[in-house]
Structure 1
Amino acid sequence: QRAIAAVEYEVEPVDTRTRIVIQSELVANESLPSSDGDPRAAQALQSPLEPEEDLAIGSRLRLVHRTRRSGLRVAVAADHVVDAPGEITTSSESNTDVSRLTITSVLDPGQRLRVQKTVAHGWSGARSRPAMSDQVEAALAAAAHGGWDGLVAEQRDYLDDFWARADVEVHGDEEIQQAVRFALFHVLQAGARAEQRAIPAKGLTGSGYDGHAFWDTEMFVLPLLTYTAPKAVAEALRWRQATLPAARDRATQLGLRGAAFPWRTIDGSEGSAYWPAGTAAFHVAADIAHAAVRYTAATGDLDFERETALELLVETARLWRSLGHHDHHGVFHIDGITGPDEYSAVVDDNTYTNLMARSNLLAAADVCERHPEEATRLGVDEEESAAWRDAAEAVHIPYNEEIGVHEQHAGFTRHQRWDFANTGAD
C-alpha cells in the first residue's frame, strides 16, 4: 500500500511500577539542522509549507498543507490502536503545524503498552483540500481493513520479491555485506515509488540538495532499478519526458535545438545558477538517453520505446548536433562544456561527454528507423537522421599517444602536474 507507513511501539517496565507517557505526532515545517559552512548547501526555505487544515479527534490526526512556490498540496493522516492491561488515558490536540496524540498508562513490571500507528500520505498539484483529506482517510481505511498483521504480510511479500531479484551476497565480510544490502534498500526506498517524479539525490535520507535530481538518477540509480524494479525506471523516465517543454525552452534560450535538460532540478527547470558546474554539464542529456536505451533493452518494452524513449532520444540528439561542430577536417567537436568532473569546468571535447553523445546520436537514429511513423510525427526525416550518424562517426575522442591513455578532455595531460609531495594532509 504505497500511501501507508506503519510502526508498532511497545513499552514494558523492567523492575518497578511505572507511569508511561507516549506522544505521537504529525509535524510540518520542522526546523532542519543548520548547514552553515557547507559550500554545497543551498539556502533552506523557512516554513515552505502553508497550513490549510489541522485535526485531532480521538486517536485520529490529520494535517493538510500547500507548498508556497509550486502549489502542491500535501496531506497526512494517522490513526492509532492502543492496547494495555490497565487504564489508558488519551488526549489529542492540533495546531497549524502539529497534530498530537498523548497516551498515558501506569504499568507494573511485565505489563506491556502497545501502540500501533498507521500513517497515510498523499499529494497532488490539482486536487482540492477536501479531496486530499478524503484521499488520506480512504488510505487509512484500506490499511485498517487488513490490520497490522495484514500490512506486515504485504510488506514481507513485497520485500521478499525484491530481495529474490536484487540481493548481492558478499562472502567473508559481514560489514560489507550489511552495507551492500543497506544501500540496496535505500535505492528501493527512494526510487521504487517514483510515480513520474524525480528521484532526489539524497533519497529519503535527509534534506541535502533540497530534493533535487541530478544525472546521478539516470547513471547510478536507474541501472540498478532497471534489473530489480523496472516499473520505477519507466516512471522516472516518463517524468523526464514530462519536463521536455521546459528543456526545449532552455535549449531555445541558449540558441540550440532539441532539449537542454537541467543539471539540477525538481520541477524541470534549471535549479543551478552557476553555469560552469550547472548548465554547462550538458552530458545529462546523454545520460537520460542512455537510461532509456538500457531500460528498453532490458525489458523489451516497445510501447515505452515508441511513446517515451523515442522522443527523449530525438530531442537529445538534436541538442548534440546543434551543440557540436565539424572542423575543416570533418572531425566533430563539442566545445565549452563540463564533464562529470565539476572541478575541470568548461572544457573542449570531454571524453565522457563525447562518448555518451556519440551513443545518444546513434541510438536516436536507430530508434527512428524502428519507428518511422512516430519519428515523422516528431519532424525527423532521413536527412536529419543521417546527420546524427555522421556526427557520431566523426566525434573526436581525445587520446594521448605518448602516454597511451584517453585524456579526460582535450589538453588535460598538458596541465601542470600536482605536487603531491608538498601537499598537506588536509
Structure 2
Amino acid sequence: MNGQQMVLKLNDISSKKPGNIAAIFSLSNGYVGIQASNPINGSNDTGTLVNGFFEYSPITYGEAAAFYPKNNQTIVPVLNLRKIILLDENHHRFDTATIKDISLNLENGQLHEVYEVSNQAHKKIEMTVVSAIDQKNLSFYGIKFSFKPLSYKGKLIVDKRFKLDAISEAADIGAQEDPRKTRRVNSAAKQIIASADDREILKIATKKSNQSITIQGRSISKKLLTERDLTTSFDLTYIYQVSKGDENKVVPIEQHSFVKIKENSHQFWEKVWQQSAVMISGNDEINLALHFNIFQLNQAAGRDGHTNIAAKGLTGPGYEGHTFWDTEMYMMPYFIYTNPEIAKSLLIYRYHTLAFARKRARELGVDSGALFAWRSINGEETSAYYPASTAAYHLNGDIAYAIGKYYETTDDDEFMEKYGFEILLETARFWREFGSWTEKNGQKKFEFLTVTGPDEYTAMVDNNYFTNRMAENNLQLAYTVGHKLAVSNPKILLKLNTSENELRQFQHLSTNIYFPRNTQYAINAQDDSFFSKPIWPFQTTPNSQYPLLLHYHPLHIYRYQVNKQADTILADFLFPETITESQLGREFDYYEKITTHDSSLSRSIFSAVAARMGNVKKAYSYFSDTVRMDLIDLQGNTEDGLHLANLGGSWLDVVQGFAGMQVTAQGILKILPHLPEEWNSFEFRLMFKKRLLKFVIDQQITEITLINGDPLEVIINQKKYTLSKIIKINN
C-alpha cells in the first residue's frame, strides 16, 4: 500500500462540522486523547481526555429502589492542550481560524493542519500545526505551530500559557434527550502550581472521585508568551506531559523532545501494521477507511490493565467515557489476533474490577459469583435504567467468551492461572446461582429468567437465546480450563476455593441449558415470548422516527417484535458450529426483516454472517456502511466520538466474514473465503499461537504464508494442510 493511501484527508469525510473533524482526526494512545479541535476557536476546557479520569455525580431518581446505583461516573475533559492565543501588535486578538487542510498520517501517527487565521480588521496569517502523541512514553504530547504572513506582517504575540476558564458545577447537558451523549461534569478544581517563562504545571483534582491529573507544559523556544516579527515565517514547538497523580514521571519533561515523540509514534505504528495490516485491492476508499478504523482501535485501547476502551474511545465524551460489553464482543477479537499483549491488558482490567462485580451479584440476590457492571469506568455499576443494562447478564458470558478466545489463541497458561480462570470461575458460579431448573417437554432443563439480551428493544424476558448460549459456553469453559490447569498446577483449585466436584457441576449445567425454538419457522427463538408479540409496524413508521429509542417509550417498543441490533444472529456468528447452513439462512432472513440497525453494533454482524453464508452482495452492502460509518456520519452523532465497536466490527467483517476465519473446536485455524466482486483481492495478517501469518485471497487462489514461527495445521476450503512456509490453494 503506498503512502498516499495511508493518509486521511479532509475530503475523505462527508461532514465538515467542527465536532466531526475533532473526533475523526483525534490522536490518542490509550492513556491520553487529544481531539483535533480548532486551536483558535476551541474551548479551553475541552478536547483532552484521560482514560479512567472521571468524576462522580449523584443519580436522581423520581422513585428509587433497593440497590439502584447511586452515582454517575463521567469522564472529565481536562485542559485543551491545542488552544493558542494570537494577538497583533496592537493586542487585537486573531479570533477566527478557517481550516484549509488537514491530514492524518496512519503510518506514523502525525497530524498536519493548515488554517487561515484572521481578526476583525481582516488581517490574515497562515498557521500550520503539526502534532503527535507518544506511543511509548504515554504521558507525552507534542505540537508545533508554524506562522506565515499573509495580509498581516507586523509583530505577532503568541500566548501558549494555561488559561483557566470559570468552571461550572455538574451540567447535565443532553443526557436526558439522548442517552448516547455525555453528562458533562465540570466540577474538577484546577490550579496552576508552578509557572516560569518556559513552563507551567497545572493540577486538576476531582472533588468526589478523589483523582488528580498533573499537566506540565514546556516551550522549546524557552517562552510560553512570545513576541516575534512576522515579516518572515517562524515556528514554535511545545511539549506536554499528562500524569495521573505521580504516575508516568519516569522520563522528565526536560529530557523529552518533539523528535522523540514522533520517533516513538512511528515505531509503534510500524509494528502495528507489520502485525495487522489489512489491504484491499480494487477500492482505495474502502481500503483507507479500514486502515483508519484499525488505527483508531489501537489508539483507544488502555494498556495498563487498569483502563479499558470506552464506547467512544478517547475521541469524544459520548456515553460518558464508559466501557460496555462492546470491548469483548467487537474490539477484543482484533487485539487477540494481532496484538495479544493489549488483549491481555484489557482482560486484566476486568480482573481488577472483580470486587465490584462480586458486590453487585450480592445486591442482585445471587449468593456466590460475580456480575460485572454493564456500564462503568472503574467497575462500579452506573446505569440508572436496569432493564437495558443490569438485566443484560450476558456481559458475564461475553467476558468469559473473550477469555476463552484469548487462551485458545495464545496458550497463555500464566494469564489463566493469575487472572483468567478466576474470572471464569466467578462468572460460572453466578450462572449456577442465578439460573433455575424447570421441566421443558418432559425433560429437566436449566433456564435463566428475566434477562435482557443484546437487543435493547426487547427487555426483561425469559430464556434469551443469546444469553443462554453465552452462559453455556461460560460454564463449559470453567470446567475445561479448570481441569487443564489442575493437571499442571494441582494447587490452583485449592487456591481459588474450588474443587473437581464444582467443576463437574458446571459441566452438568452447561449440558442441560434450555434453548427456545420456534417450530413454525424452524429457527432459534430470540426468547420465550418473542414470537407471541406482533411485528413492529415498519410500513407506517416514518424515517424521521428512527432511532426508535428517541421517539417511543420503552414500554411501547417492548410490546413488539423489533430488534435494535443483532441478537440471535450474533450468537450464530459467535458459535458457527452450533447451527446448520439451512437453519442459519432461515434465521438470517427472519431476523433481518425486523432489525432496525438503530445500534452501531448491528450492521457488522449481519455483514459477517451474510458473508459466511455466501451472500456476498448483501454482506458487502452492510460492510460498506460499517467500514465508513464515522467518515460519512451514518449514525448522525460522530461529533460525540467515534463508534469504537463498529470500528472493530469492520475488521471482523473482513477477517471473520469475507475470509471466513474461524477456529474449530479442535483449535485449528480455518479459512473459507468469499471475495466481494468489488475487490480484486485482499490480504491481512494474524497472530495465532505465537506465529505471524499472512493471508492473500483473490478470485482464483488463497495463499497463506508463515512469516515466523513453527509449522501448524490449517484448514482451507474444508481441507486440512500443514503450513511450514507457504500454501497456495485454488478457490
Q: Into which bin does the TM-score normalised by the smaller protein fall?
A: 0.7 to 0.9
Determine if contact 1:21/1:102 at 8 Å carries over to the other structure. yes
Cα drift, residue 354 of structure 1: 0.9
C-alpha distance in 2, partners of 1:299/1:223?
A: 12
Moved more, 330-339 or 290-299: 290-299
User: 1:200-219 maps to which residues of 2 (within 5 A)?
Assistant: 200-219=310-329
Is the aligned partner of 1:141 residue 2:251? no
Alignment match, 1:113: 234
Alignment match, 1:293: 404
User: 1:345-384 maps to which residues of 2 (within 5 A)?
Assistant: 345-372=459-486, 373-384=491-502
Is the aligned partner of 1:155 residue 2:265? yes
In the alignment, which of 360, 373, 381 is matched to residue 270 of structure 1?
381
Is the aligned partner of 1:338 residue 2:452? yes
In the alignment, which of 415, 421, 424 is matched to residue 533 of structure 2?
415
Give the letter aligned to residue 363 of structure 2.
Q
C-alpha distance in 2, partners of 1:301/1:311?
A: 14
Would the alpha carbon gap of residues 177 and 38 (structure 1) be closer, same or farther in structure 2, given more than 3 Å must change?
farther
C-alpha distance in 1, partners of 2:323/2:175?
A: 22
C-alpha distance in 1, partners of 2:253/2:289?
A: 33
Determine if contact 1:28/1:49 at 8 Å carries over to the other structure. no
C-alpha distance in 2, partners of 1:228/1:33?
A: 39
Alignment match, 1:58: 197
Is the aligned partner of 1:20 residue 2:156? yes
- Cα deviation digits, residues 249-287 of structure 1 (max 9, x gap): 111122212001111111211101211012111111111
Alignment match, 1:166: 276
Determine if contact 1:6/1:118 at 8 Å carries over to the other structure. yes
Determine if contact 1:198/1:212 at 8 Å carries over to the other structure. no
Matched residue of 2:524: which SS? Answer: coil
Would the alpha carbon gap of residues 333 and 49 (structure 1) be closer, same or farther in structure 2, given more than 3 Å must change?
same
- Cα deviation digits, residues 12-63 of structure 1 (max 9, x gap): 2246624333332546787899426633057735433223543321121211
Moved more, 165-174 or 359-368: 165-174
Alignment match, 2:227: 104
- Cα deviation digits, residues 331-354 of structure 1 (max 9, x gap): 111110001111101011111111
Determine if contact 2:175/2:183 at 8 Å carries over to the other structure. no
Give the letter aligned to residue 382 of structure 1.
E
Moved more, 265-274 or 308-317: 265-274
Alignment match, 1:86: none
Moved more, 353-362 or 115-124: 115-124
- Cα deviation digits, residues 186-219 of structure 1 (max 9, x gap): 1111105354213211111111121111111111
Moved more, 168-177 or 312-321: 168-177
Determine if contact 2:302/2:346 at 8 Å carries over to the other structure. no
Determine if contact 1:121/1:136 at 8 Å carries over to the other structure. no
Would the alpha carbon gap of residues 37 and 240 (structure 1) be closer, same or farther in structure 2, given more than 3 Å must change?
closer
Give the letter aligned to residue 272 of structure 1.
S
Would the alpha carbon gap of residues 28 and 177 (structure 1) be closer, same or farther in structure 2, given more than 3 Å must change?
farther
Would the alpha carbon gap of residues 161 and 264 (structure 1) be closer, same or farther in structure 2, given more than 3 Å must change?
same
C-alpha distance in 1, partners of 2:397/2:164?
A: 38
Matched residue of 2:157: which SS? Answer: strand
Alignment match, 1:199: 309
Determine if contact 1:196/1:237 at 8 Å carries over to the other structure. no
Matched residue of 1:331: which SS? Answer: strand
- Cα deviation digits, residues 85-139 of structure 1 (max 9, x gap): xxxxx5xxxxxxxxxx33221222xx32111111111114xxxxxx56xx64944
C-alpha distance in 2, partners of 1:366/1:28?
A: 56
Determine if contact 1:263/1:272 at 8 Å carries over to the other structure. yes
Alignment match, 2:606: none
C-alpha distance in 2, partners of 1:122/1:344?
A: 43
In the alignment, which of 53, 71, 81 is matched to residue 210 of structure 2?
71
- Cα deviation digits, residues 120-171 of structure 1 (max 9, x gap): 11114xxxxxx56xx649441331xxx3323322211111111111222233
Is the aligned partner of 1:309 residue 2:420? yes
Cα drift, residue 324 of structure 1: 1.1
Determine if contact 1:75/1:136 at 8 Å carries over to the other structure. no
Determine if contact 2:461/2:529 at 8 Å carries over to the other structure. no
Alignment match, 1:49: 188
Alignment match, 2:179: 40
User: 1:218-297 maps to which residues of 2 (within 5 A)?
Assistant: 218-256=328-366, 257-297=368-408
Give the letter aligned to residue 229 of structure 1.
N
Determine if contact 1:310/1:375 at 8 Å carries over to the other structure. no
Alignment match, 2:522: 404
Matched residue of 1:203: which SS? Answer: coil
Would the alpha carbon gap of residues 11 and 343 (structure 1) be closer, same or farther in structure 2, given more than 3 Å must change?
same
C-alpha distance in 1, partners of 2:155/2:305?
A: 45
C-alpha distance in 2, partners of 1:200/1:275?
A: 20
Give the letter aligned to residue 157 of structure 1.
Q
C-alpha distance in 1, partners of 2:405/2:531?
A: 32
Give the letter aligned to residue 119 of structure 1.
Y
List runs of 5+ in structure 1 lacking aligned partners: 84-89, 91-100, 125-130
Matched residue of 2:235: which SS? Answer: strand
Alignment match, 1:394: 512
C-alpha distance in 2, partners of 1:260/1:73?
A: 29
C-alpha distance in 2, partners of 1:189/1:42?
A: 21
Cα drift, residue 413 of structure 1: 2.1
C-alpha distance in 2, partners of 1:401/1:320?
A: 27
Give the letter aligned to residue 120 of structure 1.
Q
- Cα deviation digits, residues 278-307 of structure 1 (max 9, x gap): 211111111111111222222222110110
Q: Percent identity?
A: 28
Cα drift, residue 310 of structure 1: 0.6
TM-score (norm 2): 0.52
Would the alpha carbon gap of residues 418 and 76 (structure 1) be closer, same or farther in structure 2, given more than 3 Å must change?
same
C-alpha distance in 2, partners of 1:402/1:76?
A: 63
Would the alpha carbon gap of residues 76 and 16 (structure 1) be closer, same or farther in structure 2, given more than 3 Å must change?
closer
Would the alpha carbon gap of residues 222 and 183 (structure 1) be closer, same or farther in structure 2, given more than 3 Å must change?
same
Number of residue pairs matched by the alignment: 397
C-alpha distance in 1, partners of 2:161/2:448?
A: 54
Give the letter aligned to residue 318 of structure 2.
G
Give the letter aligned to residue 311 of structure 1.
E
CA RMSD of superposed structures (Å): 2.3
C-alpha distance in 2, partners of 1:25/1:310?
A: 50
Would the alpha carbon gap of residues 47 and 15 (structure 1) be closer, same or farther in structure 2, given more than 3 Å must change?
closer
Moved more, 40-49 or 373-382: 40-49
C-alpha distance in 2, partners of 1:178/1:65?
A: 38
Alignment match, 2:142: 6
Give the letter aligned to residue 105 of structure 1.
R
Give the letter aligned to residue 113 of structure 1.
F
Higher strand share: 2
C-alpha distance in 2, partners of 1:194/1:219?
A: 20
Alignment match, 1:128: none
Cα drift, residue 358 of structure 1: 0.7
